Amino acid sequence: MHELKITMLGPSGVGKTSLLTAMYEQFESNIGKTNLQLTPDEESSAILQERLIELKTLLESFESTGGIEGTEGEPEDLKFFVFGLGKKGEKPSVQIKFQDYPGGYHAAKATPEKRQFVKNLMTECVAILIAVDAPALMEQNGKWHDVFNRPQQITDLFKTAYENLDSPRLVIFAPVKCEKYLQDETSAKELLQRLREGYTNLLDLFNSSALLSKVAVVFTPVQTVGSVVFSRIEMNSNAPHFHFRKTTHFAEYNPKDSEQPLRYLLRFLLKLHLDQRSQGFIGLLRNLFRRDSHFKVAVNQFAVGCKTNNGFAMLQGEDLLKVN
């Protein structure tokens, strides 16, 4: 079965697991509208469901500082979240594997083995979601962006991983905890601008002649919980504590735009899958008899709902997401 790997990228506590969980919550409602089905394996489904409950319990208290529990494990222990994707009622034809990992692998103290793990992962994954801590990027003039999001370290990782790149890739910048910054058009524009400034070197790398035609780049801000907004930063033992509060006492879990990275992701993955399936004589016959039309229709359906303004942007490589 065709296999496509995806990973999240970001230092510890940025929100990689929360992003994956928020996207998982949208799987059914988005894919259910197409003629496709995405089927998680038993353990992946149960773990993500557990994380989702944890994300929802953040709303039990009016004010919070924490997120869902941190990820742990040695490289050899980490497991993929596995999903089968295919036509409804049929056996999946492509396997999608999401790899989450502890953000501590980016830390200065990380062992060479852990650093190598991240490098290998970036090389083998066709799509990478960069989780960006939006309050760190936006608050106090971005004072904490370098500390929490480590943009230069991430740029350096891409420099190595995308050397001599010979196949298409998708990179999604997904700022999380964006509730405060998507209130209106002006704040959304500011978020977009800060993202461009905060990741200038990385965007320049993607925009280089060697990568421009091979790497699609998208900005998709996500409101992970929807009803919890950033409130203030308190310093405690020289370390900043980001505080969040509910919009009202009765506010419920109501994530927004968490389907956006998923839509872009599925467009790209299905395009890759279609390209793979159209190769050779069998591929020719498949095209002749329109055996993969359900995939093509789905790509176009996902494309229709992809946002490209008010904080969202497709920076380059739109052709890499289009099917003929």
User: Would you count residue 285 as binding other proteins (CB under 8 A)?
Assistant: yes
Q: State the virtual CA torsion across 2, 33, 264, 53 in degrees, nearest 10.
A: -90
| Three-class SS state of 133 | strand
The nearest distance, CB 25 to other proteins, in angstroms, is 17
Size of the site for other proteins (CB under 8 A): 42
Q: What distance in Å separates the CA atoms of residue 264 and residue 271, rounded to the nearest whole number? A: 11
User: Would you count residue 233 as binding other proteins (CB under 8 A)?
Assistant: no
CA nearest to 132, candidates 45, 283, 13, 310? 13
111-142 b/e with 16+ CB inside 10 Å = b?
eeebeebbeebbeebbbbbbbbbbbbbbbeee
Contact residue for other proteins among 11, 135, 151, 175 (CB under 8 A): 11
* CB distance 128 to 171 below 8 Å: yes
Contact residue for other proteins among 3, 28, 43, 185 (CB under 8 A): 43
User: Would you count residue 12 as binding other proteins (CB under 8 A)?
Assistant: yes
User: Would you count residue 289 as binding other proteins (CB under 8 A)?
Assistant: yes
Each as own residue / partner, the long-range contacts of residues 270-277 (CB below 8 Å, 24 or more positions apart, any chain) are: 270/85, 270/295, 270/298, 270/299, 270/302, 270/323, 271/299, 271/320, 271/321, 271/322, 271/323, 272/4, 272/126, 272/168, 273/2, 273/4, 273/85, 273/93, 273/94, 274/299, 274/323, 276/2, 277/2, 277/93
The nearest distance, CB 200 to other proteins, in angstroms, is 23
Residues 55-114 that bind other proteins (CB under 8 A): 64-74, 76-77, 91, 102-105, 107-110
The nearest distance, CB 132 to other proteins, in angstroms, is 15
The nearest distance, CB 139 to other proteins, in angstroms, is 15
**With CB under 8 A as the contact rule, which of the stretches 38-46, 197-205, 266-274, 305-313 interacts with other proteins?**
38-46
The nearest distance, CB 229 to other proteins, in angstroms, is 16
Binding pattern for the stretch 118-157 against other proteins, x by CB under 8 A and - elsewhere: -----------------------------xx---------
* Contact footprint for other proteins (CB under 8 A): 1, 11-13, 42-43, 46-47, 50, 64-74, 76-77, 91, 102-105, 107-110, 147-148, 237, 239, 241-242, 282, 285, 288-289, 291
